[in-house]
A and B are shown apart, each in its own frame.
Chain A
Amino acid sequence: NAGVTQTPKFQVLKTGQSMTLQCAQDMNHEYMSWYRQDPGMGLRLIHYSVGAGITDQGEVPNGYNVSRSTTEDFPLRLLSAAPSQTSVYFCASTAVLGGTGELFFGEGSRLTVL
């Protein structure tokens, strides 16, 4: 029962460095998304995808890129990290056809940008 798997769980970057947060799901879900969680701000949607080859921006997309080459994977790229991107990142997925709207979450990736 893997569900949604995120790697790495922890990462420290220096300002200007790049990195990719990985997300994989084994539930054949069409919809995948990335949220960031900051204290007192709840979860805010960064990017989402409704299927392979289709991505769109959420509420806070600046500084992040995504791609969806397969149904299973949805990586989040930071091209030039900034301290404002220090956060906990969650990947979540759900079925589109026949789904009930429930998002299934990974355990999160804690990123610190110095």
Chain B
Amino acid sequence: AQSVTQLDSQVPVFEEAPVELRCNYSSSVSVYLFWYVQYPNQGLQLLLKYLSGSTLVKGINGFEAEFNKSQTSFHLRKPSVHISDTAEYFCAVSEGGSEKLVFGKGTKLTVNP
């Protein structure tokens, strides 16, 4: 069964600094990978997804992620964060095109002025 590990539960950064949120997954078959963002008291919205093709995926709000099959990782990056990026970020994986997503435990990103 697949699983997702988000290595950091909390990441504090200063405004305009770069950030990387780490995600590793385990699966024995091909996977689809996703990053979702949850702002306070809201539902989840999709940031970006990897289905196939180029391993560097660009998403909304200046975020990007790189799929690394050999390291089973899908880390999320942004070169310069804003206060408005403060939120919780979830990495998720589905196996072989299944609709069922398995989520990591989340990383709370706090951007300080």
Contact = CB atoms under 8 A, between A and B. Distances in A.
A43 B94 contact: no
Q: For the side of the interface on B, what is the size category?
A: 20 to 34
Contacts of B94: 101
Nearest to A105: B43
Given A48-B99, A90-B43, A101 B32 contact: yes
Given A41-B105, A42-B104, A94 B43 contact: no
A96 B99 contact: yes
A40 interface: yes
Given A40-B106, A43-B44, A100-B51, 13 more contacts: A4-B43, A40-B9, A40-B105, A42-B104, A42-B106, A48-B99, A48-B100, A101-B51, A102-B34, A103-B99, A103-B101, A105-B43, A108-B42
24 contacts: A4-B43, A31-B99, A33-B99, A33-B100, A35-B103, A42-B4, A42-B104, A44-B103, A45-B100, A45-B102, A90-B44, A92-B44, A94-B99, A100-B49, A101-B49, A101-B97, A101-B99, A102-B34, A102-B46, A102-B49, A105-B44, A105-B45, A107-B43, A108-B43
